[in-house]
Structure 1
Amino acid sequence: MLKSFRLIALLALFALFAGCTAKTAPVNEDGLDAKVGAVLESEVAADGEVAESGIEPLDPELEAAPQDAEQLTPEEEEVLLSSNGILFNLDEHETKEVQQYFGFFTHKARKTFDRWLKRSEPFLPYVRQVLSENNMPQDLAMLPFAESGYNAWAYSRAGAAGMWQFMPFTGRKFGLRVDWWVDERRDPYKSTKAAVKYLNVLHEMFGDWYLALAAYNAGEGKIGRALKKTGSKDFFDLTKNNHKLSRRARLRTETKNYVPKFIAISKIFKNLDELGFTNINWENGIQFETVKVPGGTDLLALAKACGMKWSEFHKLNPHFRRQVSPPNAVINAYLPERVMADAADYLESPNSRPFAGYKRYKIRNGDSWYRIARRYGVPVAVLKSVNNHKSNLIRPGHYIMIPGKGSSKSLYASGTSKTRRTAQSRANYRVRKGDTLWSIASRYQVSVKTLKRSNGLYSSRLRIGQKLFIPDNNARSSARSVAKAENVKQQMVKYRVRRGDNLWKIARRFGVKVSALMEWNRLNSKSILRPGDRIKVYVQ
């Protein structure tokens, strides 16, 4: 009897936990997302303290379901009832839930919404551009507000991640890599393209944007079955008939509130001035270039070669989960235009991939940093740095990466000071305004690599007045070649901007610095070049 009682109690306890899991981990139409999401969530929790930084939970306001409507001012009521160019005919659906979310985000959660607006500025121009390129409604740019508050680092309790909150299975289905090395759901640019593809598929499937949004939240299978069983024609009809479905087939409260929340956010965004919010600065979008990073690249050293701190690099590239790129794969990295020349020089160097021969190691009982370092011949400091870990504590069952050889810091710093001193003692050229390594190398018909090696340079950055040694490549005296070059006058070229041009591409084409281009044309890093514009370039 006692055994039977224990068995019943155990089964009841199991059922209780199963119910909690169902609430926090929604299942897509094939049931895979929740399982994979739970695995990834546990991996993030386990690996996070060893190798991850910057992971953030969703803002609590995203999961809030306001029960009572706020008392709106007459101005707010006018905004709520206005159309103001919204594409979805939202005013036909002024439901109680829309009013509740509208009041919630303009009153109780106002500071949160203000923070979301500021956080969205770097990405909104790009999201709207991708939507335009795919002939999609601009209002869909509001979806990341409803999903994550435009937070590229956000993870949900169910394992969804990134601005668009993709579950692992769905993310992989639409071309996003999700593994120990990289989580491209956190890539704001690649995940935006994946989300637009997914939304387009959902719209073609249901022929209605509200149903497409509901399916984005609950899964297309769930919405498709609910429509079929209730005979409903649209989202609002479906929510009214939700009670007719079996408990398992019903839409969750989160899904029923999802579209009203989206509508409320869209209305607020269209009326920021009228509601007293700080408007979006559309000039604040990130200006970046994409660089292909080969497998096994030391990302920490790449950031240093570009004159960037790791935190600055990682903010632009949240999809990297390690300070080394995955082996045997080329992954996109995003960098400011001003550092592209330095990045290209670094990536051409064989020293850029010291960790290509990696080993993923599972920590065992009795292991310590010292024992692992001694076993694999890698300094403890390097092990900790590569795994982004400061503490001396490690836990059995967690994974760390063992680099194949060398240290990024020692490789980065080694072999330059002695060569640089030698080069300065026999220098035959002084750097002038507008010079770059590319322009100097072209002028004296030597390669950039030779010029850097001859002067012990790791970076491509030059200072006005800096002394360089230019090797004689044509069997003439260096002094005579330099003297001849000094007499060459700069000529101004009026360049017509073409489609796809930017300051970095133009600077590279003419062998000049981006900073020089900006100075000659009174431009700054936020200036926009349009096809047909003419800019001045001084060449020799």
Structure 2
Amino acid sequence: MSTPDCPGLRRIRDLGASLALALVVGACLVADSRAAVDVPRYELDCNADFPCHDALRRRTDFWIHVYNTWTTAQGVFHDSLHPERVYSVIEVPNGCRGSSKTVERERGRVEARLGQLARKVQDGSNIRDADDKALLSLFSDRSPKAIRAAARQIRCQQGNRDRFEAALQRYGAYGPVVRKLIVDSGLSEDIHYLPFVESLYNPAAYSRVGAAGLWQIMPKTARYLGLELDATVDERLDVEAATLGAVRYLKDSRNRLTAVAREKRTSVRPGDLTPFIITSYNYGVNGMRRALNQFGPDFVKVINEYKSPSFQVAVKNFYASFLAARHVARNADRYFGRISPDPALRYHTAVLDHDTSMKRILDVFGLSEDELKPLNRALTRFVWHGWRFAPKGYRLRLPYRADGWGPQIARLESLGPEDESRGPVRYSVRRGDTACGIARAFHVKCKDLIDMNRLGSRAFIRVGQSLVIPGKLGTGGGSAVSAGPGGTYRVKAGDSLCGIAGRAGVGCDALLAANGLSRRSVIHPGQSLVLPGDESGAAISRDREVGVEKPDRPSRYTVRRGDTACEIAQRLDVACRDLMR
């Protein structure tokens, strides 16, 4: 693999090792920050099934260069509507999003140069400066209006060479599986290059908006496609299941878009619709159906003229980036030299005949989590942490070995069901509760509570909703209070009085009164507390739905030196915003 091109370093490489580090860094920060950067023209391998329209060729050239030349440490400043119009390439160690000051400074520099050039062209000035000439060469019509418009649509694109090289290694493991499923489904074999665009062939990839897996499937779409998605299994992370889901999506897209296209034009070739079908995977079938209804099966016209708030840069470039990824993957040796691909997946499968803990699975097969997890990514972390059992019917994948796993599988099947009685607790949401407030009361991570209950990024909960509180299966967990004989509880390290009350489903004041304590009282690990009974006199046990009781009247607290409102709220086990009302 060649090193990233850094003209500054190239110029000073021979000046000696004593050159100051600041000079080296400065040279790279302006790497290729010329007025214009040439994007090569590549020989694209197109055919009737995957056409390369002339109007899309330069757009595709840009994405090929993103994949095979520029690295993730480089930011490419280009025209968002004409990606091949590249103004500069600079070092952005944290990417285009994470290097905001550097990015905005360079964007401003390019914008100013374009503005100056537009004024010179408008005034009829003789363009003599070499950088101005190079910049003007990017605009075939030399129009001041077009140059001013370009100044408003400057975009930073992070390079992807290093990530694409890593993707080619993963492709060795997963590519054969995906290719076979695609071909067996009747879709074109080349569709199996699409995961390079979606996830860089990473089956464990997650996006900022919640898409997951090799095919980057959203939760709602996963359920529509029939994939299992719950607290124990997420089939978006299973390469085979997710690929079959993607196949169903693409075949449905092909059928629906073909019907729409033939209403607009009877003589439609399959290749005419390929760009629409591929783009629908990013934009949605309904979005491409609306575009077809408006412009017919003319993809270039759709790219240039279709208007919609969500039809932006990523969508317009999706088919071109697919063609680019396909080209680079097919010509990997030319761009990356010899790559050592990961070995193709080989495994045995055992179908679980009852819900089974991960501890039992690992013990029976004598495997470590590191050995088993890469083959079973669909099992959620709640299963791996021991909070949930792997469900009955799950197809457990085991590392391949010549003599198989027959005796171990037989032993697993011979073992009886495990005790789930001490598994996760359920909690019924009360008025004023928040997800993180409930998590604090049960001494669990807020993210784990949100994920286990699929609450989404806003963690919205409603009064009366039943939440599952994570807790170790078969171990008593430690998350919830279990009443001892006579309704007692033995204090553990990290406990607080109101926290204990909340987990036991009793009022904090009631717990204090039952034990002759105040809110200032100090408790110690091993101390025995009496738990107040409910209306029937029985202590509240952990296998029923419990709710944190609110005191009948507000408690009072005297502020001490150094207190803050939120520290007091945490001490009293209430929400900070509730205290400040």
Task: Give the TM-score taking structure 2 as reference length.
Answer: 0.48
Displacement after TM superposition at 1:218 (Å): 1.0
After TM superposition, the structure 1 = structure 2 runs for residues 234-383 of structure 1, keeping only pairs within 5 Å, are 234-242=298-306, 245=307, 247-248=308-309, 251-279=311-339, 281=341, 284-321=343-380, 322-323=382-383, 326=389, 329-338=392-401, 340-351=405-416, 353-355=418-420, 358-361=423-426
**Are residue 192 (structure 1) and residue 255 (structure 2) matched?**
no
Query: Secondary structure of the residue that 1:154 maps to in structure 2?
Result: coil
Secondary structure in 1 matching 2:332 = coil
Give the SS at the match of 2:222.
Answer: helix
**Aligned-pair distance for 1:400?**
3.9
Moved over 6 A (4+): 363-369
- Partners in 1 of 2:439 and 2:297 — Cα distance? 62
CA contact (8 A) 2:173 2:341 kept: no
Q: Which residue of 2 aligns with 1:43?
A: none
**Out of 278, 282, 296, which is 1:213 matched to?**
278
2:200 paired with 1:142: no
Mapped to 2, the partners of 1:296 and 1:403 lie a distance apart of: 15
Q: Aligned letter for 1:285?
A: A
Letter in 2 for 1:120: Y
Query: CA distance change for structure 1 residues 104 and 368 in 2, over 3 Å: closer, same or farther?
Result: closer
1:153 to 201, 204, 211: 204
Structure ranking higher in helix proportion: 1
- How far 1:257 sits from its partner (Å)? 1.0
SS of the equivalent of 2:173 reads coil
Superposed CA deviations along residues 340-381 of structure 1, whole A, max 9, x for unmatched, are 325413421325634477434459999999x979xxxxxx9x
**Structure 1 contact 297–355 (Cα < 8 Å) conserved:** no
Tell me, yes or no, if the aligned pair for 1:162 and 1:187 is still in contact at 8 Å: yes
Q: Deviations over 1:84-141 (max 9, x none)?
A: 7795133656433211111111111221111111122211010111112112212111
Contact persistence 1:69–1:103 (CA under 8 A): no
SS of aligned partner of 2:348: strand
User: Is it true that 1:182 corresponds to 2:233 in the alignment?
Assistant: yes
Question: How far apart are the structure 2 equivalents of 1:70 and 1:305?
Answer: 60
State whether residues 182 and 319 of structure 1, in contact with CA within 8 Å, keep that contact through their aligned partners in structure 2. Answer: yes
What's the counterpart of residue 18 of structure 2?
none
Q: Deviations over 1:30-67 (max 9, x none)?
A: xxxxxxxxxxxxxxxxxxxxxxxxxxxxxxxxxxxxxx
Aligned residue identity for 2:394? I
Structure-1-length-normalised TM-score: 0.51
Counterpart of 1:99?
Answer: 61
State the alpha-carbon separation in 1 of the partners of residues 278 and 425 from structure 2: 39
The structure 2 residue matched to 1:117, chosen from 168, 171, 187, is: 168
Q: Following TM superposition, by how much is the alpha carbon of 1:276 offset from its aligned partner in structure 2, in angstroms?
A: 3.1
- Contact 1:211-1:223 at 8 Å conserved across structures: yes
How many residue pairs were aligned? 312
Distance across 1 between alignment mates of 2:335 and 2:58: 20
Q: Alignment partner of 1:155: what SS?
A: coil
Offset at 1:203? 1.5
- Contact 1:127/1:192 (CA < 8 Å) preserved in 2? yes
Pick the aligned partner of 2:293 from 228, 232, 255. 228
SS at match of 1:166: coil
Q: CA deviation at 1:225?
A: 1.3
Q: Deviations over 1:309-367 (max 9, x none)?
A: 11221111111112256576422221123353254134213256344774344599999
**What amino acid is the match of 2:248?**
K
Structure 1 residues not aligned, in runs of 5+: 1-67, 374-379, 389-394, 409-540
Residue equivalent to 2:498: none
* 8 Å CA contact 2:194, 2:322 repeated in 1: yes
Counterpart-to-counterpart distance in 2, 1:154 and 1:172: 19
8 Å CA contact retained: 1:121, 1:285 = yes
* Contact 1:296/1:357 (8 A) holds in 2: no
Q: Which residue of structure 2 aligns with residue 131 of structure 1?
A: 182
Letter in 1 for 2:218: M
Tell me the distance in 2 between the aligned counterparts of 1:72 and 1:112. Answer: 20
> Would the aligned equivalents of 1:288 and 1:334 in 2 still touch at CA under 8 Å?
yes
> Does the 8 Å CA contact 1:70/1:104 hold for their aligned counterparts?
no
Query: Measured at CA, do residues 350 and 239 of structure 1 come closer, stay the same or move farther in structure 2, by a change above 3 Å?
Result: same
Q: Is the 8 A contact 1:346 1:352 kept in 2?
A: no
The CA deviation at 1:211 is: 0.6
CA distance in structure 2 between the partners assigned to 1:399 and 1:362 by the alignment: 6
Which AA in structure 2 matches 1:332?
R
The answer to whether the 8 Å contact 1:296/1:356 transfers is: no
CA separation of 1:163/1:349 partners in 2, compared to 1, >3 Å: closer, same or farther? Answer: same
Report how far residue 233 of structure 1 moved: 1.3
**Could you tell me the percent identity over the aligned residues?**
23
Local SS of the residue matching 2:336: coil
> Structure 1 pair 183/215, CA: closer, same or farther in 2 (3 Å)?
same
Partner of 2:222: 171
Q: Which has the higher contact order (CA 8 A, sep 6+)?
A: 1
Q: Distance in 2 between matches of 1:210 and 1:188?
A: 24
CA distance in 2, matches of 1:116, 1:328: 31
Q: Cα gap change, 1:336/1:354 in structure 2, threshold over 3 Å: closer, same or farther? A: farther
- Deviation by residue 1:430-456 (Cα, 9 ceiling, x = unmatched): xxxxxxxxxxxxxxxxxxxxxxxxxxx
Q: Is the 8 A contact 1:181 1:326 kept in 2?
A: yes
Determine if contact 2:347/2:398 at 8 Å carries over to the other structure: yes
Any conservation in 2 of the 1:102–1:268 contact (CA below 8 Å)?
Answer: yes
Q: Secondary structure at the match of 1:290?
A: strand
Tell me, in whole angstroms, the C-alpha distance in 1 between the residues paired with 2:476 and 2:219.
Answer: 33
| Counterparts of 2:36 and 2:362, CA distance in 1 | 49
The answer to whether the 8 A contact 1:298-1:355 is kept is no
For residues 438 and 275 of structure 2, what CA distance do their matches in structure 1 show? 54
